[in-house]
A and B are shown apart, each in its own frame.
Chain A
Amino acid sequence: MPTLRASKSLLRSVLLVGRPNVGKSALFGSWTGRYADVSNYSGTTLELLAARAQGLELVDAPGLLSLSARSEDEAVTRDAVLEARAEGIIQVGSACDVEGSLTLFFELSRISAPEALVLNLCDEAREKGLAIDAGGLSEALGVPVLLASALTGEGLADVQAILRSRAPGSSVPAPLPPELLRAASRLERELPQRARRWVLLALTSDEGLRKALVRQGLLEEEDLPKIEAARREFVRNPSFLFLSSARERSRELAALHVRRREGALGKGAGFGETLGRWALGPWSGPLAALLAAAGLYLFVGVLGAQVIADFLQDRVFGAWILPPVESVVRHALPWSFMQDLLVGPYGLFTMALTYALALILPVVATFFLAFSLLEDSGYLPRFSVITDRLFRMIGLNGKAVLPMLLGLGCGSMAVVSVRILETRRERLLASLLLALAVPCSAQLGLMLGMAGGSGPAVLWAWLGVMAATLLGVGWAASRLLPGAAASFIMEIPPMRRPLPGNVLRKTGLRLQWYLREIIPLFALATLALFLLDRTGALSRLEHGLRPLLSGLLGLPPESAGAFLTGFLRRDYGAAGLYQLHRQGLLDDRQTAVSLTAITLFLPCAAQWLLMLRERGLRFCLFATGFVLAYSIGAAALVNAAWKALGG
């Protein structure tokens, strides 16, 4: 269970809460100087992030559409709001959507009124011709309402002043329908004194929120049957009644205090608006998706994996770095054991660092750069809409595009982002597919390089097996897992010009995270291979694996090393196979078989551990067994089919 406080500090903790994509993380970053991942789509922040600033502990929380949390990241915020009620909550809203921000304000007020409502994106609202009367709103709500822009810095000083001077909330609640008021007062009489404060919230909430109230000790289990009975007396779900009346009040307030200036650019104007509409259209949308995919392939698969990787490997490492390092090591260190450990065939310099920096880094760097651009532009939710039907065939919906695309970058990051999916069924399904059939960018780049260097049959066989796996396993698993597919409902943000600073910062941080993860593991795997080689165990293993590798899969015995390192990192395994391919040790059939096996191979250690944390041991053990058996089975099938077809 995530807790609000990151540390046992004595500082007052203030929780930043708001609807998704209103810029909470950007404001958090500008106040604390700490970078929280910022994108132009919902669900970027997945857990609480705390930092100290101005004598306070500020906590950035995942976006919350409503207190009736649907996904795991929303549930984190819902629980944090309950926990933070006594300390302080600042709501961040959007100046472009005052009505929506006010609805969440009234929802939050049932727990504890936010100390202030900060309407971010005021520069964008002004461009759209919206004039907001913050003073009037402030008076109507009973708490300070401030206009701010994390982008331009406008209004941030006022917000900081509010943060410093603790202003007790005396907010004005939304008027409630009479039947709700009557039911609440009846229920208050039936429940003990301690529970009365929470009657309205319990009556107008979903089951998840009521359970959270019990977990936090605000209600007792024994109160729930009485609350349920009171809820059943309503013709219409009382939570809908509350939300509808809160929305109606928000609409009235927005109509009174938000004016659209005449002659200003309306919503139908602007290049971003046109591009955004185009990317969603029935014909232009799929075309835009194909263009984006082709662009991604050219940037990552060709520029990163071929042009830059070849240059780094042949020139930078092959000609400039490794020869002098090798000569220094051979002269300075008299022991052949140490020499080989550093610059031998399984050496830390010649293998671990070269693979990490010359082969993997260019691919991952180009992928993260392209992905950050897509994230920042607001294109990804549109891609979700276009691919919704495809994802439906495998029991998911368009929302799964975000974790799956992130999985093409790095499986470990993706397995955490599965939290944004709304049902347990979808989260399990997406985690299984990520573990099995979504190769990370490093792996993908290398494999595209291998496939590109072979006959076209290799590429088609490999793509065919991957497509059949995603469709077949997704289809079968979606029928075996209980529950119905979740509905596709998604907020579409406006398209914006990506901010170069944010894109570069985000790419840099992701790369730093990635390299910090892979370099020690690559070194460890290389050391293990080196020791296995030195002790003669590697040749015994190659011999032992011969029936499987040479017999069943028809691969050369040298591929054993690649698969062994693949247990630690799939991308390292792929790098080993890539080298074998470059050395001409794999023919077309063997390339197709090894590509199939390593793509579907076990997820790397980091992804496995995160999967364990997120989805539990039982799922992890099942996924591991299934993935291992499936990858070997599929590769054996490709081998047999290729031979049968006379390849």
Chain B
Amino acid sequence: MNDVRTLDTLLPGSPAVVHSVQTPEDADTRSLLALGLSPGAEFVLEQGQPAFVVRTSGGRVAMERRVARCILIYSKP
């Protein structure tokens, strides 16, 4: 597995895989898991401004930086 880092450090256009999600609010983690950002999910970061937008297999999810910092990811091998 490549180095694990937070989603907000990823460059737009990069594909990556979710390692884990741990937000301070449990409800946020549950939302992210239900939206497809669960461990092992592949995604592409489409943009980091004005919000982080990721494309998963099921669709797009937008989130603020505070949330993106709580998603641990690794680059797609």
A interface with B by C-beta (< 8 Å): 65-66, 68, 70, 94, 96-100, 103-104, 206, 237, 239-240, 243-244, 247-248, 251, 254, 267, 277, 280-282, 285-286, 381, 384-386, 388-389, 397-398, 422, 487-494
Contact = CB atoms under 8 A, between A and B. Distances in A.
14 contacts: A66-B30, A68-B30, A99-B36, A99-B57, A100-B34, A280-B46, A282-B47, A286-B50, A489-B32, A489-B62, A490-B62, A492-B59, A492-B60, A492-B62
A280 B52 CA distance: 10
Contacts of B41: 247, 251
Interface of B: 21, 23, 25-36, 38-41, 46-47, 49-51, 53, 55, 57-64, 66-67
Contact of A488 (B34, B60, B62): B62
Nearest to A423: B27
A100 B26 contact: no
Given A239-B30, A282-B49, A487-B66, 11 more contacts: A68-B30, A99-B36, A104-B34, A237-B26, A240-B26, A243-B38, A280-B53, A384-B62, A398-B51, A488-B51, A491-B60
A630 to B, nearest CB: 30
Contact of B50 (A100, A237, A388): A388
A493 B50 CA distance: 18
A206 B51 contact: no
A217 B32 CA distance: 30
A247 B38 contact: yes
Most chain B C-beta atoms within 10 Å of own C-beta, residue among A65, A68, A104, A491: A491
Given A243-B38, A281-B47, A487 B23 contact: yes
B37 to A, nearest CB: 9
B24 to A, nearest CB: 9
A267 B55 contact: yes
Nearest to B21: A240
A489 B35 contact: yes
Contacts of A397: 64
Given A206-B26, A281-B47, A488-B51, A385 B62 contact: yes
Nearest to A107: B34
Nearest to A94: B58
B64 A388 contact: yes
A487 B61 contact: no
A431 to B, nearest CB: 21
A336 to B, nearest CB: 64
Contacts, number: 123
A301 B75 CA distance: 50
Given A282-B50, A385-B51, A240 B29 contact: yes
Contacts of A104: 34
Contact of B63 (A206, A243, A280, A487): A487
Contacts of A285: 50
Contacts of A388: 50-51, 64
Contacts of A493: 59
Contacts of B39: 244, 248
B49 to A, nearest CB: 4
Given A206-B27, A282-B50, A103 B60 contact: no
A586 to B, nearest CB: 41
What is the interface of chain B mostly: helix, strand, loop, or mixed?
Answer: mixed
A244 B38 contact: yes
Contacts of A488: 51, 62-64, 67
4 tightest Cβ-Cβ pairs between the two chains A and B:
A97-B58, A282-B49, A66-B34, A247-B38
B47 A243 contact: no
Nearest to A66: B34
A461 B71 CA distance: 45
Contact of B61 (A96, A98, A99, A492): A492
Given A239-B30, A491-B59, A247 B50 contact: no
B27 A422 contact: yes
Contacts of A492: 53, 59-62
B31 A248 contact: no
Nearest to A488: B64
A489 B63 contact: yes
B58 A277 contact: no
Contact of A100 (B25, B36, B55, B64): B36
B33 A243 contact: yes
A398 B26 CA distance: 20
A489 B33 contact: no
Nearest to B46: A277
B71 to A, nearest CB: 11
A206 B29 CA distance: 12
A240 B50 contact: no
A66 B26 CA distance: 13
Nearest to B42: A251
A491 B29 contact: no
Contacts of B21: 240
A239 B26 contact: yes
B41 to A, nearest CB: 7
